[in-house]
Amino acid sequence: MRFFVSLLAAGSLLAGACGASAQAKAPAAPAAQTAPATQAAESASFRPTEINFSGKLYSPVKLSVFLPYNAKITALSAQIGQKVKRGDVLATYEIPLETRMDEKTRLSPANIKELEYKMAAADKEIDRLSAKGRELEAMSQRNMASQQSLSMNAKEIEVFRKEKSSIGEQLSLARELLSDRVELAEDRFGKGAGVGKVPKDGIVKAPTDGYVMWMNPELRNGVKLAKESELFQVGSINPMIIRAQVHEIEAQKLKEGEAAEVVFDSLPGKKYAASVSRIPWAPMAATLQQPSYYEVELTIPNPGLELKEGLKGQITIQPGK
């Protein structure tokens, strides 16, 4: 009887322990389920909602104009900020006498005329030898000319025909070169230039449509400048582009076409809209230990032409918006 009482008591104690253990383990499940949500909320709180970096304004197309010779400036037809079209005259310069003499030699048709003379002489020799060949053929039929003389005459005709072909190729090349030189001379000196003709004054022209963005500080009427001196910079300024070096982490979050807001320290109180227009796949040069930076481009409208090349701006982008 005591044995059964002890057995029942042990069973009750075991059941109580199991119940308590189950109750102790039950609340742990919701805690495990809420842990990922808490981590996500914490990571979201540290994730930046916008990207900020700085960049500089540049003209998307800017071409330089150079002085082709050592020359004196005689007239200026353009000023900084002036709108120009491709081919407009920007300045006029006096062509030095030695340069005019050299250019006349380059534009001379003397070489072409010499080749034309050689071509005519070759034609004349071919005609003469052809007539001689017909005579020899007739004499050969009367046994008055040998086959050797006929063969030699035919070989001479073939030599002159090859010479004529070579002269023809040289003549064609000489005519093309002269045409190109005349075209180049007209571009440098105006319509007054031509075959054997070089005017006293040359011109420099706008290489593209746009605005005169820069002039050589020494550029004045009457000043003498050295050959290859840069005279003007002509470029487009609407729209403009912003180039910025963006850290690799931020660059990966950007997408082409994303909107951006730009402010400039030199234009306080104004905000400008821009958009990401180019994200390179290759970074700028860097050492192995340094992080990579990408030269990102943004396009910014400039209808009022108040933005100038070189202005530094602060760019703000909210990814995904």
Q: Can you tell me the distance from the alpha carbon of 223 to that of 220, in angstroms, rounded to the nearest whole number?
A: 6
- Which amino acid is residue 223, in one-letter code? V
Regarding whether 108 and 56 lie in a shared domain, the answer is: no
- Is residue 255 helix, strand or coil? coil
Indicate whether 286 belongs to any domain.
Answer: yes
Indicate whether 24 belongs to any domain.
Answer: no
Residue 222 DSSP one-character state: T
- Is residue 230 helix, strand or coil? strand
| Contact status, residue 134 vs residue 154, Cβ threshold 8 Å | no
HEC profile of 231-270:
EEEEECCCCEEEEEEEEHHHHCCCCCCCEEEEEECCEEEE
Regarding whether 165 and 106 lie in a shared domain, the answer is: yes
Q: Which of 90-99, 128-137, 198-207, 213-222 has the highest average model confidence (pLDDT)?
A: 213-222
Regarding whether 164 and 242 lie in a shared domain, the answer is: no
Indicate whether 144 belongs to any domain.
Answer: yes
Indicate whether 120 belongs to any domain.
Answer: yes
Indicate whether 257 belongs to any domain.
Answer: yes
Weakest-pLDDT range from 26-30, 65-69, 156-160, 240-244: 26-30
Asked whether residue 153 carries a pLDDT value surpassing 50, the answer given is yes
> Which pLDDT tens digit goes with each residue over 162-175?
999 999 999 999 99
Indicate whether 124 belongs to any domain.
Answer: yes
Q: Can you tell me the distance from the alpha carbon of 22 to that of 24, in angstroms, rounded to the nearest whole number?
A: 5
For residue 279, give its domain range. Answer: 51-60+236-317
> Which pLDDT tens digit goes with each residue over 31-69?
444 445 445 444 444 445 789 999 999 999 999 999 988
Q: How many residues does the chain have?
A: 321
At 105 the pLDDT is 86
- What interhelical angle do 110-141 and 147-189 show, nearest 10? 160
Residue 274 is part of a domain; what is its CATH number? 2.40.30.170
| Contact status, residue 236 vs residue 218, Cβ threshold 8 Å | no
Q: Can you tell me the distance from the alpha carbon of 279 to that of 281, in angstroms, rounded to the nearest whole number?
A: 7
> Facing residues of 76 across strands?
91
Regarding whether 118 and 55 lie in a shared domain, the answer is: no
Q: Can you tell me the distance from the alpha carbon of 87 to that of 63, in angstroms, rounded to the nearest whole number?
A: 13
> Which pLDDT tens digit goes with each residue over 181-190?
888 888 877 7
271: its two tokens: 């905000």
Regarding whether 125 and 55 lie in a shared domain, the answer is: no
Indicate whether 244 belongs to any domain.
Answer: yes
7: its two tokens: 């057995």
Number of structural domains found in the chain: 2
> Which pLDDT tens digit goes with each residue over 272-281?
999 999 999 9
Indicate whether 14 belongs to any domain.
Answer: no
Regarding whether 105 and 167 lie in a shared domain, the answer is: yes
Answer with the one of 153, 187, 221 that is the final residue of a domain: 187
**Number of neighbouring beta carbons within 10 Å of residue 35:** 10
